[in-house]
Amino acid sequence: MSTILECSGLTKRYGSVYALNGADLTLETGRIVGLLGPNGSGKTTLIKLANGLLTPTSGTLTIDGAAPGKETRAKVAYLPDADYLPDWMTLRDLTGMFRDFYGDFDPVKAREMFSSLGLDEKERLKALSKGNREKTQLVLTMSRAAKLYLLDEPIGGVDPAARDYILRTIIGNYSENGTVLLSTHLIADVENVLDEVVFLKQGQVLLHENADALREERGKSVDAIFREVFAC
């Protein structure tokens, strides 16, 4: 096992507001990690920093030993929590684009997933419902054999049946030595697939533990612990 993602003292400030405030986190390869925290705790900021889409105010973040850049991007598969794909493109166009740019993209896998989710490859993105656009984004991300998957709210907008399929996809598709970091509010839904959990609170890492050990130690589900820790 080796370290795939490491941040130390990671801070991102917007004016006087701290989105992240000295976060320290180390993730090993081959794990599925839940990044959990209430709204505004810094989950999306952390994931965007790991993709180099934001510049840290202070602190460092490395992926496989390197700062986010051209080289790390070939190893990271990112699913943003936004409608980010050009909506005039068809699913087939997008598949072609991912194949063009990512050496680890498997178009056959993508096609299979599109068909089992009932998505038509000839359809333009703008003709799809919000949920189906999210599924499309997830299929494209998970059809890569990346070292690190950064999934920001991957199941937030889809129906419960598709949720199960997506979680199965995530578990089934991530490569042996790949790591998945997924952020979500829907803890009960993902609880069973998580190896580790990270609680973020006000921009800091409150807790990072093995999911089973945590449940055993506290005698409750991660969901129940979350509700307790972040009770309003």
Partner 1 sequence: MLGKLLKYEFRATARVFLPMYALLLVMSFVARLVYGAQMTEAQGTLLTVLTVVVTIAVIGLLVTVAVVTLLLICRRFWNNLLGREGYLMNVLPVSSAEHVWAKLIAAAVWTVASAAFSVAALIIMLSRFAEVGSFRDFWEGLRSLREMLREYGVAGKTGLLLTEGVALLLLSLLSYVLKIYAAMSIGQLANKHRIWASVGAYFGIGIAESILYSRYLMLRAIHYSGAKLGSGLHVEITGEGLEVFDDIRTAIPVINRELVWMLLLGLIFCAALFVVTERLLKKRLNLQ
Q: Tokens 């609880």 sit at which residue?
A: 191
C-beta of 116: minimal distance to partner 1 in Å?
24
Nearer to partner 1, 89 or 206 (CB): 89
Nearer to partner 1, 81 or 196 (CB): 81
Residue 19: how many CB atoms within 10 A of its CB?
A: 22
Say how far apart CA 7 and CA 22 lie, in whole Å.
9
Among candidate residues 131, 91, 90, the one with its CA nearest the CA of residue 112: 91
Nearer to partner 1, 95 or 191 (CB): 95
Phi, psi dihedrals of residue 16, rounded to the nearest 5°:
-105, 0
Nearer to partner 1, 58 or 116 (CB): 58
C-beta of 30: minimal distance to partner 1 in Å?
22
- Give 14's DSSP letter: E
C-beta of 82: minimal distance to partner 1 in Å?
6
C-beta of 106: minimal distance to partner 1 in Å?
16
Q: How far apart are the first and last CA of the chain?
A: 38
Kindly list the residues in this chain that would bind partner 1 in the complex (CB under 8 A). Answer: 14-15, 48, 51-55, 69-71, 73-74, 76, 78, 80, 82-86, 88, 97, 100-102
Q: What token pair was written down for 171?
A: 């578990």
Q: What token pair was written down for 50?
A: 């790991």
- Whether 110 contacts 92, CB under 8 Å: no
C-beta of 94: minimal distance to partner 1 in Å?
9
Nearer to partner 1, 18 or 102 (CB): 102
